[in-house]
Chain A
Amino acid sequence: MRVIGRLDCASNEPWDKRVHFSHPPSPRLRRRRFLQLALLAPLCCGRPRSAPGKIRLGFKYQPLGSNPGPLRELLASYERNHPGVEVAAEALPNASDVAHQYFLTALEGGAGDFDVLVMDIIWTREFARAGWIADLSFALRAEVLRREFFAAAAESGIVDGKVFAVPWYVDVGLLYYRRDLVPNAPRTYRELEQDALEAKTADAHLQGYLWQGRQYEGLVCNVFESIWGHGGSTWSDGRLQLETPQVVAALVYLRSLLRGGISPAAVNSAAEEESRRAFQNGRAVFMRNWPYAFTELQRSASLVRDRVGFAALPTQDGAYGQGTLGGWNLALNARSPPRNRLAAVQLIEHLTSPQANLLLAGAYGRNPPRPTVYRDPTLAEAAPQMPALLPILSAARPRPPTAYYNLVSDMLQSEFSAAIAGVRSPEAALERAQQHIDRIVGQDA
């Protein structure tokens, strides 16, 4: 750093007289300051200016993994194919709740500084209804989406027959089991219970079945899987209906797992990572979790490495289990200026193309949303366990497709938790949840 002046602290002169410039700032220095300010300016105000004639697309995404390289390369390949467009990618906070709040304030406030955004599939209807994301029908047709993507994933982006979002990657609830303790994955709840009890008799320190019982979104996924496993369904005629024998049976079943000692008490406070850590340390026979856990369980630090298999979740009567569909969609900000729209849709198509699916699977372990990609031999090379997910993902079911999903889920979380922890009977808990949900959603004009 160059010294441009000195401050005389001991002097008795007024403060402004105490600074002695060795020489006034040179014109060159002043010019440099101006340039620095000019460079900083775009950071402070609105939509950054780009080179004249060039389209600049803003892209908000959730961090995919620790290495940003492959995603950057994917975006760079888009820029190479579209010379007139540059993409400014910006990562959101790596927590789903916080990202949702960010969009709530940014989009409600009319933010137009990004064009393409990523969202949890359960938010898509809310965002579409709020008018925050644009109808993509001008470029994408619903039939195409339904043909190319997993059915439930495609439906998550289609509202009233119009395409609002395109699946980017998907997730599904799986049953993990210890191949060294259980010969085959159980198909029914009864088999799972017997296998767990047998393994526990052989080794008293072993726990049976781990799942996510903490009061949060993951609990709702676990309960829905149990409802479908009992042959139930909650969504009919555009309304959530909870007070059915199958929903009661699902809650009774989950409660019985805890009371019968099949699942440890810790399940009541466990989210995905708590279950995964316990299972990884070899403390349980079965675990319900998302596909990401497999990669973790196969790491060298894992005590169950090469001893873990996964399968579809068991059911009451042995029918093929339906896991909850999770995942993230890409959509177009409704405030995106008209001249950016075509390029933005092309960016969405580029990011959700089969090649991009393969890249995300290999580099970040994200499951492709297109069934055809699972038959691609290069997928088996990049992620050997992934092809086995095809039948499980094909059977995956969505959570209730309502614009009020967050509100509904909040009620479900507390009442499901109450039933499973034994604070209220399942019937009483479901009645309360139904009342609260009808109060808000029922008044919807």
Chain B
Amino acid sequence: MRNNTSIESWARMLDRWRRGATEKYQAYFMVAPAMAMLLLVTAYPVCEAAWLSLHRFILVFHDWRFLGTQNYRFLLSDGRFWTALANTGYFTAAAVSLELVLGLGFALALNASFRGRAAVRAAVLIPWAIPTVISAKAWAWFFDPAGPGGRLLWNPDASWLGTPGYAMKAAILVDVWKTTPFVALLLLAGLQAIPRDVYEAADVDGASRWRVFRSVTLPMLGPMIAVALLFRTLDAFRVFDAIYVLTEGGPANTTETVSIYAYKTLMRAGDFGYGSTLAIAIFLAALGISLGYIKVLGRVLGAAR
């Protein structure tokens, strides 16, 4: 009898294990196509670019020679690359912080209830909905010395898009105009997820509005702010279209970002070897940014719980 039960339970256990294992294999089998697809479209190109970056490769002339790390050594001493990286960093830092502050302001305003709120919410999204190339063309006209923006510039020896220093500020302005609505939308979603009762409790405690904002709204909005920052930083770091339309990286490469430099090297000059080296450098920088954010994001989320 006892023997019997033990055999039965063994059989049952074996069966369960077998079923579990098949299920596991089945699961692997099911995700395999998706994994293969992911590897094909992400891992393969990255590896291919890394391999290319070790070569002199002028595509059109079939000029293909292994160089080892020569391209990378040139990159370290390439003033144009470091300028482009500094430009990109400046653009990203300035644009993202402005967008965050303005976006938060918009989100708070739109979260309040007032008549015509739906219409205002829709209107705020318009800059974000217009294709970047089109809005950049309109802005280029705005910045023209004869255009409305050109007249705003009090210095007669400067032009928005032609004077080093001003051109990047113009590009930042365009980016802020375009993507503040996106940040506002994300933060608005975050604001609406904050439970009412927390505010009611604060009200009962007699907290001032500033105190409520600082001690309730901001901490509870923390994760959403982190997500918005992550999206925007990565986007701004790879900025291409708006600046390309406005200045093509000029004057004197003062608005040339790493993406524009890589594009020019790859597609215009046809230098696929060094172009890939630049692409890998951008990839590593973007990876660093994401890892940094994920670390911070994890801490913020942990603190929120």
Contacts and interface: CB of A to CB of B under 8 A. Distances in A.
Interface of A: 97, 100-101, 104, 108, 126, 129-130, 132, 213-216, 264-270, 274, 277-278, 281, 283, 403-404, 406-407, 410, 413-414, 417-418, 420-424, 432, 436, 439-440, 443-445
B161 A269 contact: yes
A126 B150 CA distance: 40
A267 B249 contact: no
A126 B254 CA distance: 29
Contacts of A404: 269
Given A268-B159, A269-B161, A278-B146, A104 B60 contact: yes
B250 A214 contact: yes
Contacts of B247: 214-215, 269
Given A414-B253, A423-B254, A216 B248 contact: yes
Given A104-B270, A130-B62, A423-B251, 19 more contacts: A215-B248, A215-B250, A215-B252, A265-B162, A266-B144, A266-B145, A266-B162, A268-B159, A268-B251, A269-B143, A270-B162, A407-B270, A407-B271, A414-B80, A417-B251, A417-B253, A418-B252, A421-B163, A424-B252
The 5 closest A-B pairs by CB, nearest first: A215-B250, A268-B162, A269-B162, A407-B269, A269-B161
A145 to B, nearest CB: 24
B109 to A, nearest CB: 35
Nearest to A266: B145
A213 B162 contact: yes
Nearest to B80: A414
A215 B270 contact: no
A414 B252 contact: yes
Contacts of A439: 74
A101 B250 CA distance: 21
Contacts of B145: 264-266
A270 B145 CA distance: 10
A269 B159 contact: yes
B162 A108 contact: no
B162 A216 contact: no
B60 A268 contact: no
B270 A265 contact: no
A410 B250 contact: no
A274 B144 contact: yes
Given A266-B144, A407-B269, A407-B270, A423 B162 contact: no
Nearest to A216: B248
Interface residues of B, number: 41
A267 B159 CA distance: 9
A350 to B, nearest CB: 29
A327 to B, nearest CB: 20
Contacts of A410: 264-265, 268-269
Contacts of B269: 404, 406-407, 410, 440
A422 B251 CA distance: 10
B267 interface: yes
A374 to B, nearest CB: 34
Contact of A417 (B62, B146, B250): B250
A437 B62 CA distance: 19
Contact of B248 (A214, A265, A277, A432): A214
B247 to A, nearest CB: 7
Contact of A421 (B62, B80, B160, B164): B164
A264 B159 contact: yes
Nearest to B253: A414
Interface string B146-159: 10001000001111
Nearest to B78: A436
Contacts of A101: 267
In this complex, the member of B61, B163, B164, B270 whose beta carbon has the largest number of chain A beta carbons within 10 angstroms is B270
Nearest to B255: A215
Contacts of A214: 161-162, 247-248, 250-251
B163 to A, nearest CB: 6
Given A266-B144, A268-B159, A130 B271 contact: no
B256 interface: yes
Given A215-B247, A406-B269, A417 B252 contact: yes
B167 A269 contact: yes
Contacts of A268: 159, 161-163, 250-251
B159 A265 contact: yes
Interface string B187-215: 00000000000000000000000000000
B232 interface: no
Contacts of B63: 444-445
A265 B264 CA distance: 26
A417 B168 CA distance: 15
Contact of B253 (A108, A266, A283, A418): A418
B55 interface: no
B302 interface: no
B33 interface: no
A265 B268 contact: no
Which one of A268, A420, A422 has the highest number of Cβ atoms from chain B below 10 Å of its Cβ? A268
A265 B250 contact: no
A303 to B, nearest CB: 13
A313 B248 CA distance: 27
A132 B62 CA distance: 12
12 contacts: A101-B267, A108-B59, A129-B61, A213-B251, A214-B247, A214-B251, A215-B248, A268-B163, A269-B159, A407-B270, A414-B250, A421-B251
B79 interface: yes
A436 B250 CA distance: 18
B134 to A, nearest CB: 15
A101 B270 CA distance: 10
A104 B80 CA distance: 25
B144 A421 contact: no
Contacts of A413: 250
A423 B80 CA distance: 13
Contacts of A421: 162-164, 251-252, 254
Most buried by B among A130, A269, A270, A413: A269
Contact of A130 (B60, B167, B249): B60
Contact of A97 (B80, B156, B254, B268): B268
A414 B80 CA distance: 9
Contacts of A424: 252
A403 B267 CA distance: 15
Interface in B58-90: 58-63, 74, 79-80
B56 interface: yes
